[in-house]
Amino acid sequence: MTNRIQSFEEYQKEYEKSINEPEAFWASKAKQFTWRKEWDKVLEWNFDEPKVEWFKGGKLNITENCLDRHLAERGDKPAIIWEPNDAEADARTYSYKELHSEVCTMANVLRNQGVKKGDRVCIYMPMIPELAFAVLACARIGAIHSVVFGGFSANAIADRINDAACSFVITSDGMYRGDKHLAVKETVDEALKKCNTVDKVLVVKYTDRKVDMVAARDFWYHDAVASASQDCQPEVMDAEDILFILYTSGSTGKPKGVVHTTGGYMVYSEYTFRNVFQYEEEDIYWCTADIGWITGHSYIIYGPLLAGATTIMFEGVPTWPDPGRFWQIVERHKVNIFYTAPTAIRALMTRKLDFVTKHDLSSLKVLGSVGEPINEEAWNWYRNNIGKNELPIVDTWWQTETGGIMISPLANHSPMKPGFATYPLPGVQPVLLDGDGNEIEENGVEGYLAVKFPWPGMLRTTYGDHERCRRTYFETYKGYYFTGDGARRDPQGLYRVIGRVDDVINVSGHRFGTAEIENAIDEHPHVVEAAVVGFPHDIKGQGIYAYVICSEDCMDEAQLIKEIDQEVVKHIGKVARPDKIQIVDDLPKTRSGKIMRRILRKVAEGDTSNLGDITTLLNPEAVQEIIDGRK
Ligand code: WT7
């Protein structure tokens, strides 16, 4: 079965077809899957409500497509290769048959505990195989998974559990990360003090860390497995039933639960996986992301398993025990397709080249990048040192909300240009808008990046608050899905996504709203007001810069800064710690009292030469003060 685009000409033809006859196009991609009942209608949509339905009336279970569908042909083929944190320890491989039975077993454990179709299950776990089993076990029985990244704090978990009213949590005792052994279950216990919807917590024993088990609420996975069968009939789902919720930050308020549904997400994640990476049957594929983010959902679990691929899951970090860890894994498993983030490349390129050259990277065929704009220097280093100056790099632009890759080269077929995600995939209709919402037709321009037609993997709503979804994505520019990104189109029509145009910062490929971090800082009793902005950071892409006004009875500054940092760790997690915290007497404001973020950004950047006219400010003297105190 080769339903993969084989040349740039074919891409152009496919693209044409996907625009002229989108329904026929996507129906032809959906046909290969196992449907319990075929859809009645391929697409119904409007971007006003918004309401988008793909493969309406179709019935299926996505795990039947990830697992059962492959058993006859590839039952013994490795589905998941798990590479542990400890570089000396053996990897573990699960064939499609084995993965099938692990998933069915866990699905039965959930069913036995009363989890039903439509229930929300929060998964908070390290990158161990049981995390993948848990995700698929939920999908098997029609429960909605909400995976929370392991770097989030108890408060952040509680917010997410409460927003979705989860009734069940799956976690582990502890986790390893580099040389550290960290608590996991303990963090869940802390979170659950603030939640009243959860009745059961399933705990996977992994690090043997001592944990408290709450009677009647908590139970061990290894105990429950004993009475669970390996046979599990998949729940038959509607194509538009919710598959999962994944929380992501925006410019205002708390993170929102992006909702993805079953049929469209399935078709889209598989199609994009196969075509962007030009996946071939024997390839070993490795995406270094964490399953706590959308990249892990779509391109560690669903996309690759739907395509019947071998997908590597790595528990550890790129720099431990040394900065050659990625390349050691590539050599060990003879990885063919390697997909990582610019931040990882930037961190590794500062180290001795020895860490790369001592490993045999000859298996590599395709390199990928995701999460943030990749700067030319990093692109070139990746291409020259990992790609032997000849491998294609696919710079994939997409978002939690898009479900899958939207703009990207197809490996070996599309033109490449450092820093450019290049052309939209078939079925994707991006546009650049000017400030008034008019489409800019010409090339060689910049604008706001929007999409004017639905694609199967797009979000359907934000959980429990459809109006918020409408306001966030469909209101700014009528008739379009607005991405929040600014982009440039070069004279040849290639896209370069420049970055966010809203108050969202991208730190090492992780999204945070400035308001979200400000709210965490505001929780400190001595903080009067805080303003957070992003600034260019050599490794992280963007760093977090916090300006904080504290009350008069303020304690000593160093102590306060420490406590503010802890406040962020407590409310969001270590992943959102500010890089710089500056205590200030005042923040520059307009006459109407609005904080002048533009000036704060400039100062954080260290560019104070051209601040524009500040004389109209309410308090122009505040500007010099923040310049003088700059960290
Ligand atoms: C934001 C989405 C998509 C999975 C990981 C991040 C930025 C993502 C690229 C790229 C330039 C990129 C955008 C986007 N972004 N990929 N290849 N080039 N920018 O998912 O957390 O939802 O963040 O990441 O700004 O809006 P996310």
pLDDT at residue 553, as a whole number? 73
pLDDT for 608 beyond 90: no
Is 618 buried (19+), middle (13-18) or exposed (0-12) by CB count in 10 A? middle
- CB < 8 Å & 24+ apart, contacts of 212-218: 212/185, 212/186, 214/189
Our mutation pick for probing the ligand 1 site, out of 397, 446, 508, 510, counting the most ligand atoms within 8 A of Cβ, is: 397
d(CA 85, CA 339): 18
Rounded mean pLDDT, 440-449: 97
**How far is the centre of ligand 1, averaged over its atoms, from the C-alpha of 396 (Å)?**
8
Residue 386 pLDDT > 70: yes
CA distances, 17 to each of 6, 14, 450, 481 (Å): 16, 5, 21, 22
pLDDT score of 1 more than 60: no
Counting ligand 1 atoms within 8 A of each CB, the residue from 258, 300, 497 with the most, and so the one to mutate, is 497
Atom of ligand 1 nearest to the CA of 249: 21
pLDDT confidence bin for 612, thresholds 50/70/90? confident
3-state SS assignment for residue 184: coil
Q: What is the mean pLDDT of residues 185-200?
A: 98
Q: Whose CA is nearest to atom 2 of ligand 1?
A: 399
Please write the tens of the pLDDT for every residue from 224-251: 999 999 999 999 999 999 999 999 998 8
CA of 135 to the centre of ligand 1 (A): 23
Q: Are 268 and 457 in contact (CB under 8 A)?
A: yes
- Residue 220's DSSP bridge partners are 203
Task: For ligand 1, say whether the CB of 70 is within 6 Å of any of its atoms.
Answer: no
The yes-or-no verdict on residue 523 having pLDDT over 60 is: yes
Within 8 A by CB and 6+ apart from 254, the residues are 159, 163, 516
In whole angstroms, what is the distance from residue 398 CA to residue 88 CA?
35
Best of 251, 256, 506 for a ligand 1 pocket test (most atoms within 8 Å of beta carbon): 506
Percent of residues, the chain, with pLDDT higher than 70: 100
Give 611 Cα–ligand 1 centroid separation in angstroms.
29
Encoded amino acid at 361, one letter: L
What is the 3-state secondary structure of 453-517? Answer: CCCCCCCCEECCCHHHHHHHHHCCCCCCEEEEEEEEECCCCCEEEEEECCCEEEECCEEEEHHHH
Tell me, what's the pLDDT at 173?
98
> Is residue 95 within 8 Å of residue 311, measured between CB atoms?
no
pLDDT band at 4 (very low <50, low <70, confident <90, very high): very high
For the Cβ of 497 lying below 6 angstroms from any atom of ligand 1, the answer is yes
Q: pLDDT at position 2, please?
A: 56
Angle between helices 22-30 and 8-20 (to 10 degrees): 120
Give the integer Cα–Cα distance in Å for 230 and 71: 15
pLDDT at 175: 98
Atom of ligand 1 nearest to the CA of 484: 26
Q: Note the pLDDT of residue 610.
A: 83
Look at residue 473 and tell me whether its pLDDT is greater than 80. yes
| Unique residue bearing structure tokens 């500062």 | 350
b/e per residue 176-190 (b: at least 16 CB within 10 A):
bbeeeeebbbbbbbb
Average pLDDT over residues 484-489: 98
SS3 228: coil
Name the residue among 471, 472, 467, 487 with its Cα closest to residue 423: 487
Give the DSSP per-residue string, 391-423. S-EEEEB--GGGSS--B-PPTTTS---TT--BS
**Tokens found for residue 363:** 């298996």
Q: Which residues contact 331 (CB under 8 A, 6 or more apart)?
A: 359, 360, 361, 363
Question: Which residues have a Cβ under 8 Å from the Cβ of 525 and sit 6 or more positions away?
Answer: none
What's the mean pLDDT in 531-552? 95
User: What are 294's two structure tokens?
Assistant: 């959308």
Within 10 angstroms of residue 364's Cβ, the number of other Cβ atoms is 21
Question: Would you state the pLDDT for residue 554?
Answer: 77
- pLDDT score, position 555: 75
Q: Beta-carbon neighbour count of residue 354 at 10 Å?
A: 11
323, pLDDT greater than 90 = yes
What does the block give as tokens for 34? 């196992």
Average predicted confidence (pLDDT) for the chain: 96
